[in-house]
Amino acid sequence: MTVRTLAVVSAGLSQPSSTRLLADQLAAATRDELVGHGEQVELRPIELREYAHDIVNHLLTGFPAEPLRQVLEQVTGADGLIAVTPIFNASYSGLFKSFFDLVDADAIGGRPVLIGATGGTARHSLALEHALRPMFTYLRAVVLPTAVFAAPEDWSGGTAQGALRSRIDRAAGELAGQVHRAAPARGPADPFALTTDFEQLLRGPDA
């Protein structure tokens, strides 16, 4: 049986971070749903903090250091993606955006993505809709209808209960459903593959 892979990207900066906590809860809930569908699941948690220098270096040099290359392949090769960022100044964090700036425009096309965010106040919650959703739509990913925002009051009591819990479960159900229905991901595209032969290039696009 194929193992379905979920890349779980968290852009939290502190340790432990509430962003990572939300990502983990989304991942666990999605895994449970998929197991319920009879799937085997592999979670690939990715803390962007650990790759912060490599991300900046890639922006400057144009190529990834080996650890970052592997992480990018984990993301572009996964069956589904959970992407969670803290909201800074009314949008995704710079680290989160810089990381996804390194993902090729067609590398996650058609792939289901669950977006989540954390913030100091619930008034930031629409950043999910005006910042994260358009970015993943640009990448032609399938952004799931339920986006999950966690404000400080959602964590009261130490674990996510009540309203947050139900949002997590609904979002996890949507992602698991998409992953379960889709054909397994084919893995990252080969940027060095020749897609046309020379006679065709020589004739030009109108021929």
Partner 1 sequence: MQFGVFTVGDVTVDPTNGREPTEGERIKAMVTIALKAEEVGLDVFATGEHHNPPFVPSSPTTMLGYIAARTERLLLSTATTLITTNDPVKIAEDYAMLQHLADGRVDLMMGRGNTGPVYPWFGQDIRNGIPLAIENYDLLRRLWREDVVDWKGRFRTPLQSFTSTPRPLDDVPPFVWHGSIRSPEIAEQAAYYGDGFFANHIFWPAEHTRRMVGLYRQRFEHYGHGSADQAIVGLGGQVFMRRNSQDAVREFRPYFDNAPVYGHGPSLEEFTAQTPLTVGSPQEVIDKTLGFRDYVGDYQRQLFLLDHAGLPLKTVLEQLDLLGEEVVPVLRKEFESLRPAHVPLAPTHASLRAAARASADDRASNDDAAVTGAEAGQ
61 binds partner 1 (CB under 8 A): yes
Closer residue to partner 1 in complex, CB, 145/204: 204
Residue 158 as a binder of partner 1 (CB under 8 A): the answer is no
User: Is the distance from CB of 79 to CB of 142 less than 8 angstroms?
Assistant: no
CB 21 within 8 A of CB 82: no
- Looking at this protein, which amino acid is placed at residue 186? R
Out of 1, 15, 38, 62, name the contact with partner 1 by CB under 8 A.
62
Told to check if 38 binds partner 1 by CB under 8 A, we report no
CB of 18 to partner 1, least distance (A): 31
Decide whether 50 or 153 has the Cβ nearer to partner 1: 50
The smaller minimum CB distance to partner 1, of residues 61 and 89, is found at 61
Single residue of 3, 35, 56, 163 touching partner 1 by CB under 8 A: 56
Closer to partner 1 at the Cβ: 183 or 194?
194
Find the Cα–Cα–Cα–Cα dihedral 81, 86, 87, 93, rounded to 10°: -80
* 184 preceded by a cis bond (ω within 30 of 0): no
CA distance 55 to 70: 12
DSSP state letter for 88: E
State yes or no: residue 105 binds partner 1 (CB under 8 A).
no
- The one-letter amino acid at 166: S
In the shown chain, the binding pattern of residues 176 to 195 toward partner 1, with x for contact by CB under 8 A and - for none, equals: ---------------xxxxx
Contact between 49 and 95 under an 8 Å Cβ cutoff? The reply is: yes
Work out which of 1, 38, 105, 198 binds partner 1, going by CB under 8 A: 198
Q: In the beta sheet, which residues pair with residue 42? A: 5
Closest distance to partner 1 from the beta carbon of 65 (Å): 6
Q: Can residue 202 be called a binding residue for partner 1 (CB under 8 A)?
A: yes
In whole angstroms, how close is the CB of 60 to partner 1 at the nearest point? 4
Residue 117, beta-bridge partner list: 85, 149
Burial class (CB in 10 A: 0-12, 13-18, 19+), 106: exposed
Can residue 57 be called a binding residue for partner 1 (CB under 8 A)?
A: yes
> For binding to partner 1 (CB under 8 A), which residues are involved?
56-57, 60-63, 65-66, 191-198, 201-202, 204-206
